[in-house]
């Protein structure tokens, strides 16, 4: 039996205040001793801590869970800090408020993979304007979604986004458990845990790069990454509460992004400073990272072919690097090999410069060559795209840079 009505007297700590406020309305039919001791003990009676309560706690007879007058401090301190300092983000609910739309949580989490909040915000606004719910996104042509994604990078995310939206629409809505969420294309361990916690208030251990850093420091885990991930996850599990786990996850992310930053953690203003094992031991060195391997550098060529104020664009193969996206024709470079150097048609080519671009596992030096199209079409399939609408073509960043270089070279010649 669970109760939700706060006791009439006594002080609640700040972390309990908001949650109890949004959960009032049901009367506790079975007042018990723990309710009379401290008003915020009712939060425990709703299973606030459930598993993982500290030793020495007392047992609430009506709820069947253990409460404590000395609950674990890290979640308390962090949630109290979050209640005051949570970032205002367009995909979030305010601390303690009802969970946000799972579509918005999912979309933001996919966009935020390997990408900053600042870069994601305009894309999130544009996507939710054009496709306000998962059904609208499921009905969208993949090429429209790829074009809208252009510039955000890691384009396999966009293709998986469409596949996952269609799967969710077929299911009639988002699944709520981590295990089911993991079955969606593009949803890995972290994303499944984040959606389960934030959108469905399920207890889930959410560990992204920010959380990894905070936990490595709090518990002074000195084993190098990636081997340390197991210990970091286990440590994160010990401090994840049963309730408000979505707020807790977002609080950890905010702390990592604003306070416990990689190079200069602001320990003086950190709400967890008193609990942090690494604070006095050079926290900025944690987590220890394995030495970076040098990325291979590939050489390739891209071709800017112009005719009648249009440029020749091709559609890349559906799978592989930048799969399914519009691009300038190139000489077949890949993550594993340099390009052939062969142009798509014979003729005079002018060197417009070199684009240097880094992908996750390699870098590319892409020479950009300009030429005028002969009366014959270039080899392979493609389309003449108007230059004054080039920003609507959805070119991925590498080819958008190449296009700018080619146009700048032309401007120099005029």
**Which residues carry out catalysis?**
109
The residue behind tokens 């469409």 is 162
Position 41 contacts ligand SF4 (CB under 6 A): no
Based on the shown chain and the rule CB under 6 A, indicate whether residue 209 belongs to the binding site for ligand SF4. no
- Could you tell me the two tokens for 121? 């915000």
Q: Which of 74, 90, 81, 103 is nearest to 200 (CA)?
A: 103
Instruction: From 28-36, 267-275, 388-396, 400-408, give the range in contact with ligand SF4 by CB under 6 A.
Output: 267-275
Establish if 214 lies at the interface with ligand SF4 (CB under 6 A).
yes
Q: Are strands 297-307 and 310-315 parallel, antiparallel or unpaired?
A: antiparallel
Contact assessment for residue 102 and residue 80, using Cβ atoms and an 8 Å cutoff: no
Which x/- pattern over 187-206 shows residues binding ligand SF4 (rule: CB under 6 A)?
--------------------
Instruction: Give the separation between CA 192 and CA 165, rounded to whole angstroms.
Output: 15
Least distance (Å) from ligand SF4 to the CB of residue 254?
12
- Does position 80 bind ligand SF4 by CB under 6 A? no
- Residue 251 Cβ vs ligand SF4, minimum distance, rounded to whole Å: 12
Instruction: Determine contact, residues 221/235, Cβ cutoff 8 Å.
Output: yes
Is the Cβ of residue 75 or residue 371 nearer to ligand SF4 in the bound state?
Answer: 75
What are the backbone angles phi and psi of residue 350, rounded to the nearest 5°? -110, 135
Q: Which of 273, 310, 354, 387 binds ligand SF4 (CB under 6 A)?
A: 273
Q: Which of 71, 100, 283, 300 binds ligand SF4 (CB under 6 A)?
A: 283
Instruction: Report the residue from 252, 276, 393, 398 that binds ligand SF4 according to the rule CB under 6 A.
Output: 276
Token code pair at residue 109: 């989490």
Nearest approach in angstroms of CB 47 to ligand SF4 is: 27
CA distance 398 to 396: 6
Helix 102-112 / helix 117-130 crossing angle, nearest 10 deg = 140
254 versus 331: smaller Cβ distance to ligand SF4: 254
Task: Out of 217, 244, 301, 326, point to the residue binding ligand SF4 (CB under 6 A).
Answer: 217
- What residue spans of 52-98 are helical by DSSP H? 73-85
Contacts with ligand SF4, residue ranges (CB under 6 A)? 214, 217-218, 259-260, 265-267, 270, 272-273, 276, 278-279, 283
């Amino acid at each position: 039996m669970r109760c939700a009505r706060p006791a009439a007297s006594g002080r609640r700590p700040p972390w309990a205040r908001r949650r109890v406020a949004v959960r009032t309305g049901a009367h506790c039919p079975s007042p018990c001793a723990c309710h009379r001791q401290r008003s915020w003990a009712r939060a425990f009676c709703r299973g606030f801590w459930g598993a993982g309560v500290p030793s020495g706690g007392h047992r609430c007879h009506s709820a069947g869970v253990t409460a404590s007058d000395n609950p674990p401090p890290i979640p308390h301190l962090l949630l109290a800090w979050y209640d005051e300092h949570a970032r205002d983000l367009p995909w979030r609910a305010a601390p303690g408020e009802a969970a946000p739309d799972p579509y918005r949580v999912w979309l933001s989490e996919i966009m935020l993979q390997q990408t900053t909040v600042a870069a994601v915000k305009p894309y999130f606004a544009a996507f939710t304007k054009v496709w306000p719910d998962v059904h609208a996104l499921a009905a969208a042509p993949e090429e429209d979604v790829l074009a809208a994604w252009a510039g955000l990078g890691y384009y396999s995310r966009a293709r998986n986004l469409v596949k996952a939206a269609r799967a969710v629409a077929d299911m009639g809505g988002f699944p709520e458990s981590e295990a089911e969420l993991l079955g969606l294309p593009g949803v890995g361990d972290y994303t499944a845990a984040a959606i389960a916690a934030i959108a469905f208030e399920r207890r889930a251990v959410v560990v992204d790069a920010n959380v990894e850093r905070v936990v490595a420091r709090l518990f002074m885990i000195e084993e190098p990454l990636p081997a340390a991930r197991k210990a970091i996850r286990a440590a994160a599990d010990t401090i994840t509460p049963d309730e408000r786990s979505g707020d807790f996850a977002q609080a950890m992310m905010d702390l990592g992004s604003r306070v416990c930053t990689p190079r200069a953690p602001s320990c003086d203003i950190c709400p967890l400073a008193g609990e942090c094992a690494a604070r006095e031991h050079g926290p900025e060195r944690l987590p220890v990272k394995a030495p970076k391997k040098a990325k291979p550098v590939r050489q390739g060529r891209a071709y800017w072919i112009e005719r009648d104020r249009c440029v020749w664009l091709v559609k890349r193969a559906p799978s592989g690097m930048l799969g399914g996206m519009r691009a300038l024709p190139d000489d077949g470079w890949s993550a594993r090999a340099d390009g052939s150097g062969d142009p798509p048609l014979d003729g005079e080519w002018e060197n417009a410069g070199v684009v240097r671009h880094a992908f996750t596992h390699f870098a590319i030096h892409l020479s950009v060559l300009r030429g005028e199209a002969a009366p014959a079409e270039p080899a392979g399939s493609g389309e003449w795209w108007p230059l004054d609408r080039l920003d609507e073509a959805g070119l991925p960043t590498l080819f958008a840079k190449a296009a700018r270089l080619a146009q700048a070279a032309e401007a120099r010649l005029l």
